[in-house]
Amino acid sequence: MQKIGLFYGSSTGNTASVARLIRQALLGHGVAQDNVSMFDVATTGAQGLAGYDALVLGVSTWDIGEIQYDWADAVEDLDGVDLSGKKVALFGLGDQFSYGDTFQDAMGILGAALEERGAQLVGFTSTAGYDFEASRGVRDGQFIGLSLDEDNQPELTTGRVQAWVEQITTALEL
């Protein structure tokens, strides 16, 4: 079975909490505990990404459309990381009501940086059920990963995570 690297950047703890929820959901879908390693990108940086067969990466949008601070540093270090052909599933946190014109921009920023280095994004999800104006995290009418809003829709997180994990277990060939 493939080794999965689950990396997240978290300023307030929300993205870390969702990463733990995703890890539990992966285990519940038959992924062996030893095959899912979870890391805070603040301590590992981008270099740790190369050591895994598949990646699940969590990022939040800060300020007005900015990538989470720890990921900003890690993205700068991506140039030395070979991601050619590596499948990557992204999940992003944002506030669709207060920042509706930049909702999930960080997911788009990170996704573009990964694709520039050869990664293949998987796990796109519908924009239905969200209320926002614009997003760099949307491509062809879909989010480029799992979109979550812990500020305004926390009651939907568990269900969205479960559905997405079911989707990515196939896409990541787990």
Q: What is the DSSP letter of 29?
A: T
| Average pLDDT over every residue of 137-141 | 97
Q: Extract the tokens encoding 91.
A: 């999940």
What's the pLDDT at 59?
97
What's the pLDDT at 55?
96
Domain boundaries, the chain: 4-171
What's the pLDDT at 168?
96
What's the pLDDT at 158?
97
What's the pLDDT at 173?
83
What's the pLDDT at 174?
81
CA distance 80 to 122: 22
| Average pLDDT over every residue of 11-33 | 95
3-class DSSP state for residue 105? helix
Question: Could you give the angle at the alpha carbon of 28 between the alpha carbons of 25 and 31, nearest 5°?
Answer: 95
Instruction: Let me know: does 113 contact 170? Beta carbons within 8 Å.
Output: no
What's the pLDDT at 122?
97
Instruction: Let me know: does 36 contact 4? Beta carbons within 8 Å.
Output: yes
Return the CATH fold of 4-171: Rossmann fold (3.40.50)
Whether pLDDT at 131 is above 90: yes
List, for residues 69-124, the tens digit of each pLDDT value: 999 989 888 888 889 989 999 999 999 999 999 999 999 999 999 999 999 999 99
Q: Which amino acid is at 168?
A: I
Q: What is the percentage of the chain residues whose pLDDT exceeds 70?
A: 100
Please report which confidence band the pLDDT of residue 24 belongs to, taking 50, 70 and 90 as the band edges: very high
Q: Extract the tokens encoding 80.
A: 């030395």
| Average pLDDT over every residue of 150-172 | 96
Return the closest-CA partner of residue 8 out of 86, 116, 93, 65: 93
